[in-house]
Amino acid sequence: MTTENSADGIMRDSIDIGSGVRLYYEEKGKGRPVVFLHGVWGSSRFFQRQISWFGDRYRTIAVDFRGHGRSSMTLHGQTVETYAQDLHAFLAALGIVEPVLVGWSMGSFVIWDHYRQFGKCDIKAMVNIDQSPTDYKWADEPRGFITFEMLRDWLVATQTNRNELAKAIVPMMFKDPITDADFRWMYDEMIRAPEAIAGAILYDQSVRNFASVITGFPMPTLLCFGADEAMQTLESARWIQAACQNARLEVFEHSNHCPFLEETDRFNAVVDAYIRELD
């Protein structure tokens, strides 16, 4: 059922994309579609500071992947590959043409996998928010930050003490301490999924490596990386910039993994300028 908050003008709805899966989304505005895609255990709520701002300038949409937020909590399909298929169906169902896809963390994996499966389609450009080609520290890709031991411990904690793990992960994403209020809503969003779903997608996204997809990637790409390298590295960002056909790097000096939350005003302005330049 469609609902609209008259105070902020944001439409909140869910749409059936087939196989009994409904994806929740929030939408505001008209014009060039700008679609925000969240990270693992995240949701559209993480883009609350973008939906209204960009909604005054573009057709702005933020969607919850299956197994996240307010979308269907299916026990199947909790993989980056399936999320990319869901994205493809979602864009078609809403008649979204020539969108700019903004992927934060795992959201960028979904965009790269969408290209791997479906090609460029009519996607105008990609914005990558602080995501390297892989999170895992492979032998031939040491820039990842997740070791085997870390992944093992996180998967065990997801099944035995997931709430405490979420409490530990939230502050890891930020350069500076966040407010208690911000911590609370982020934590609440990150524990929405049952442990079985949370563990499945944590493993799947952690062991993905999109280096081969990124090499020669034709889609115009804006890289928005935090200078604090607690999670992702600027070395990886520069590798992506060199590997793509058309990529630009913007470094956010006062951010870690969430420049859209840590430096909201600058992030919004940078992405807005990039989209206007595309048009």
Q: Is 113 a catalytic residue?
A: no
Tokens of 256: 């870690």
Which residue among 71, 72, 105, 108 is the active-site one?
105
Residue 64: active-site member: no
Write out the DSSP string of the chain.
Answer: --EEETTTTEEEEEEEEETTEEEEEEEE--SSEEEEE--TT--GGGGHHHHHHHHTTSEEEEEPPTTSTTS---SS--SHHHHHHHHHHHHHHTT--SPEEEEETHHHHHHHHHHHHH-STT--EEEEES--SBSB-BTTBTT--B-HHHHHHHHHHHHH-HHHHHHHHHHHT-SSPPPHHHHHHHHHHHT-S-HHHHHHHHHHHHT-B-HHHHTT--S-EEEEEES--SSS-HHHHHHHHHHSSSEEEEEETT-SS-HHHHSHHHHHHHHHHHHHHH-
CA angle 211, 203, 140 (to 5 degrees): 35
Among 64, 86, 113, 228, which one carries the catalytic annotation?
228
Catalytic (active site) residue 8 = no
Q: Which of 38, 68, 114, 257 is catalytic?
A: 257
List residues with catalytic annotation: 105, 228, 257
